Amino acid sequence: MIEISSRLEEALNRAFIKVFPKEDRSSTTSSILTGSNLVPASKPEFGDFQVNCALSLAKELKQPPREIAQQITDQLQKDNDFVQICNPPLIAGPGFINLSINSKTLISEIHFRLNDKRLGVPLKQFSSKKIEEGKINNRVVIDFSSPNIAKEMHVGHLRSTIIGDSLARVLEFCGYEVIRLNHVGDWGTQFGMLITHLKEVVPEALHTKDVVEISDLVNFYRQAKKRFDEDQIFQNKSRSEVVNLQAGNQESLIAWQLLCNQSRKEFQKIYDRLDIKLTERGESFYNTFLVDVINDLKNKNLLINDQGAQCVFLDGVVGKDGKPQPIIIQKSDGGFNYATTDLAAIKYRLTTPPHGDGAFRLIYVTDAGQASHFSGVFQIAKLANWIPTDCQIEHVPFGLVQGEDGKKLKTRSGETIKLVDLLDEAIQRASEDLKNRLNTESRSENESFIDKVSTTVGIAAIKYADLSQNRVSNYQFSFNKMLSLQGNTAPYLLYALVRIAGISRKGGDLNALDQNIQFNEPQEWALIRKLLELDCIIAEVEKELLPNRLCGYLFELSQIFNRFYDQIPILKASEPSRTSRLALCSITADTLKLGMTLLGIPTLERM
């Protein structure tokens, strides 16, 4: 509906100029009329759009709002473009103007989508020549997932991984060039601790691959951390090992690389199961740029020596004692920290190729607990003038995954749940549900079918349960709710697709539809209007970075389709209703598939 609403906005502006000439307007009137006066109707019975400015103008113009509304509607009906796409406007209540798109326009839009692979969603137009000349930039960096080497991915990594992936998919579909970065924790003190410990307990793991499993590394890391916290001698050895690593000591680098590769193999297994594409660029990548960050901040007089550490003090950033809180860029021992690395990453990602990524938009998908960290880092980057005026940097925060008791999701023993275990359990539960349903329905399916459906439903349920929530909020994890065939769940959406596939199997050819389509039933018009909202929803997600908007749309579309399916005949209808309804089934299936693909959610045609 983006193009239709744009045409209505233009017609409305032409009407305003006729009814309220610019030379006669006060500043208040101009402000009201130049604002966004066309909004989606709050209820279906009010039409498709509403214009509410008459109420705001009434006091300014000293006229009843219905009289003002009448002047606007009279002028709109003299506008040829408006008349072509809209029914006569209606004035309701104290002065609301209700607009309904006419049936001819709606059918024309459906015709267009029958032959459009993008289903009416416009592709951002970027000139290759202008991009090459640096006049237009369509490159976006999304930083997401970011597990730590020598640690297993846990449930906390789920949200960053699938939210980041869905945003990348939407932006790519819109026409942006997206760089998907996995900023893994692959550098720093933890490696000094781990290498020092392994030298004593499993030295062969530092020069021979596959000697230890990821679970062994996790245990060794815990042991090393305990020793580091309790043993000063071990702590000193670990710090010396970090110095060796940073200095490029060959033995230390080989050990470090082996540990990283072992973790990467395990991470990739998870990413393959979730269908996640990422380019790894860990903290170590920015190691050579850290000194430049320090020098640049010094040259711009942003660094202050505080007890030997190089710090930046930002306005309004204070500690619990009310005193200014420093952001440490270089520690007193000369070492660097997360802030330094993140600053180097910002600078590199915004720098023009070949010395950087040359992005115009940076998106960081991390938990809400890192909001203050990124706020400080972004402010420093702005003070250093590293962020061009046409670039934007955004932190996309998300809340905690909680158990049904409202507490942080953990195992019964209090351990953080491993992501691989969570996925396994979802698939296992989906398998049990499917087998019970097959038994109830007296259906017989082979193991291959059961395995495929269980895996698809389990992964889809996990992803959708997360993405359907407002990412800013915490959400309560429930296998029973997310695997239900009722409510706002992945199985409910999948079931709508399965219904459409069933229509096709029963003789409804969804690919051989002629152009002679007609609609008469309210269920048909309701489905048409919902289908035409897709472009607006994609535009919202592109701007607001909230995947739950797309989830909500797909759920509402599934609800409306199911009512359409249940209440009016499709295959048994006479022509042209049969063909027309099959056309709606076809577009609904394509819309659901596209939407779920943009969310990174797999689909099925039988379940």
Q: Give the DSSP letter string of 189-215.
A: HHHHHHHHHHHHH-GGGGTSTTSS-HH
pLDDT, mean over the chain: 91
CATH of the domain at 14: 3.30.1360.70
Over residues 400-420, the pLDDT tens digits come to 988 888 888 876 666 788 899
Specify the higher pLDDT residue, 26 or 519: 519
CATH of the domain at 445: 1.10.730.10
Q: What is the arithmetic mean of pLDDT over 456-473? A: 96
For residue 71, pLDDT beyond 90 = yes
Over residues 270-291, the pLDDT tens digits come to 999 999 999 999 999 999 999 9
pLDDT at site 426? 95
Q: What is the rounded distance in angstroms from the CA atom of residue 282 to the CA atom of residue 187?
A: 8
CA angle 583, 533, 568 (to 5 degrees): 40
Q: Within a domain: residue 361?
A: yes
Q: Is the dihedral of CA 553, 565, 516, 520 positive or negative?
A: negative
Backbone dihedral angles phi then psi of residue 403, each to the nearest 5 degrees: -75, 175
Which segments within 459-528 are labelled E, that is strand? 475-476
Concatenated DSSP letters for 414-437? Answer: SPBPBHHHHHHHHHHHHHHHHHHH
pLDDT at site 412? 65
Q: Within a domain: residue 566?
A: yes
Residue ending a domain, among 244, 275, 306, is 275
Strand partners, 305: 310
Specify the higher pLDDT residue, 266 or 132: 266
Predicted TM-score (pTM) of the model is 0.92
Q: Within a domain: residue 146?
A: no
Instruction: Please report, rounded to a whole number, the percentage of residues in the chain having pLDDT higher than 90.
Output: 66
For residue 561, pLDDT beyond 70 = yes
Range of the domain at 344: 283-398
How many domains, in total, are found in the chain? Answer: 4
Residue ending a domain, among 40, 71, 101, is 101
Q: Within a domain: residue 144?
A: no
CATH of the domain at 329: 3.40.50.620
Asked whether residue 434 falls in the same domain as residue 579, the answer is yes
Asked whether residue 447 falls in the same domain as residue 542, the answer is yes
Asked whether residue 352 falls in the same domain as residue 264, the answer is no
Over residues 486-512, the pLDDT tens digits come to 999 999 999 999 999 999 888 767 776
Q: What is the rounded distance in angstroms from the CA atom of residue 178 to the CA atom of residue 173?
A: 10
Asked whether residue 260 falls in the same domain as residue 292, the answer is no
Asked whether residue 357 falls in the same domain as residue 454, the answer is no
Q: What is the arithmetic mean of pLDDT over 368-397? A: 95
Asked whether residue 370 falls in the same domain as residue 429, the answer is no
Asked whether residue 447 falls in the same domain as residue 547, the answer is yes
pLDDT at site 564? 97
pLDDT at site 125? 73
Q: What is the rounded distance in angstroms from the CA atom of residue 193 to the CA atom of residue 278?
A: 28
Asked whether residue 265 falls in the same domain as residue 335, the answer is no
Q: Within a domain: residue 29?
A: yes
pLDDT at site 172? 97
3-state secondary structure 269-312: HHHHHHCCCCEECCHHHHHHHHHHHHHHHHHCCCCEEECCEEEE
Over residues 76-91, the pLDDT tens digits come to 999 999 999 999 999 9
Asked whether residue 366 falls in the same domain as residue 473, the answer is no
Q: What is the arithmetic mean of pLDDT over 211-231? A: 88
Over residues 154-208, the pLDDT tens digits come to 888 999 999 999 999 999 999 999 999 999 988 888 888 999 999 999 899 888 8
Residue ending a domain, among 398, 429, 463, is 398
Q: What is the arithmetic mean of pLDDT over 32-52? A: 86
CA atoms within 13 A on the CB side of 131: 13
DSSP 87: P
For residue 459, pLDDT beyond 90 = yes
Q: Within a domain: residue 411?
A: no
User: Range with the lowest mean pLDDT among 244-248, 283-287, 595-599?
Assistant: 244-248
Asked whether residue 353 falls in the same domain as residue 456, the answer is no
Q: What is the arithmetic mean of pLDDT over 434-451? A: 94
Q: Within a domain: residue 439?
A: yes
Q: What is the arithmetic mean of pLDDT over 27-47? A: 84
CA atoms within 13 A on the CB side of 586: 22
Instruction: Please report, rounded to a whole number, the percentage of residues in the chain having pLDDT higher than 70.
Output: 96
Asked whether residue 334 falls in the same domain as residue 248, the answer is no
Q: Within a domain: residue 107?
A: no
Over residues 143-166, the pLDDT tens digits come to 999 998 888 898 889 999 999 999
Strand partners, 50: 39, 98
Asked whether residue 455 falls in the same domain as residue 528, the answer is yes
